[in-house]
């Protein structure tokens, strides 16, 4: 088995709903969920293996190195087995840390962001993304749904869970 599996593609778009409609009609992608956070409005789709995040960023700062009106590939994500080992491997290979901490992962959803030597942003996640499947053909669960992530945040806000970075 590979150490990492490409399971997430994030695109910066003007209108996530309209863009989702296109990918659903053109390619039969399935709706996973949507969110409206401080970072971006988002719609999440899947082809049954990979999660496609369609993001309309709310500010240049939240766009993480891009302008909020940028349209195109924003970042990719890898589902990894061991976060500490994966971080060490990518840093040894020349990646630069951007944001996120292994120590703050807790039991919830998280992403650790890096840039490759070309400046391309990529995520590492041990829990995967909604609609993504870690090992297609094997018995495993898909990543967390948007509703699961929302419920975890709400529970933490009510002090039922420790912060986990999602």
**Domain carrying residue 56:** 4-157
**CATH code for position 79:** 3.10.180.10
Burial zone of 165 (CB within 10 Å; 0-12 exposed, 13-18 middle, 19+ buried): middle
In a domain, 118, yes or no: yes
Task: Express each pLDDT in 38-50 by its tens digit.
Answer: 999 999 999 999 9
pLDDT given for residue 145 in this prediction: 56
In a domain, 166, yes or no: no
Provide the domain count of the chain: 1
Compute the 3-state secondary structure of the chain and give helix, strand, coil in percent, each to the nearest 5: 20, 35, 45
**Interval 11-23 mean pLDDT:** 97
Closest by Cα among 53, 46, 74 to 132: 46
In a domain, 164, yes or no: no
pLDDT given for residue 9 in this prediction: 97
- Comparing 87 with 107, the larger pLDDT belongs to 87
**Interval 134-144 mean pLDDT:** 68
pTM, entire model: 0.77
Q: Which regions of the chain does DSSP assign to beta strands (E)?
A: 4-12, 30-36, 40-46, 51-57, 72-80, 96-99, 112-115, 121-125
Task: Express each pLDDT in 60-94 by its tens digit.
Answer: 989 888 999 999 999 999 999 999 899 999 999 99
Residue 36 gets which letter from DSSP? E
pLDDT given for residue 99 in this prediction: 87
In a domain, 26, yes or no: yes
Q: Answer for the pair 152, 39: CB distance below 8 angstroms, yes or no.
A: no
In a domain, 114, yes or no: yes
pLDDT given for residue 138 in this prediction: 72
Which pLDDT band, with edges at 50, 70 and 90, does 151 fall under? low
In a domain, 71, yes or no: yes
In a domain, 163, yes or no: no
For the chain, the average pLDDT equals 84
Q: Say if residue 161's pLDDT is above 50.
A: no
In a domain, 165, yes or no: no
């Amino acid at each position: 088995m590979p150490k990492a599996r490409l399971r997430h593609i994030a695109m910066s778009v003007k209108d996530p709903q309209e863009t989702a409609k296109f990918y659903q009609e053109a390619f039969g992608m399935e709706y996973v969920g949507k969110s409206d956070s401080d970072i971006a409005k988002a719609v999440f789709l899947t082809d049954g293996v990979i999660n496609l995040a369609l993001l309309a960023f709310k500010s240049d700062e939240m766009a993480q190195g891009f302008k909020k009106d940028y349209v195109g590939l924003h970042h990719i994500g890898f589902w990894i087995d061991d976060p500490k080992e994966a971080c060490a491997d990518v840093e040894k290979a020349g990646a630069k840390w951007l944001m996120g901490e292994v120590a703050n992962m807790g039991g919830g959803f998280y992403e650790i962001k890096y840039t490759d030597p070309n400046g391309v942003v990529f995520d590492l996640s041990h829990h995967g993304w909604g609609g993504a499947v870690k090992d297609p053909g094997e018995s495993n669960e898909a990543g967390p749904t948007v509703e699961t992530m929302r419920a975890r945040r709400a529970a933490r806000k009510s002090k039922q869970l420790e912060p986990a970075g999602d």
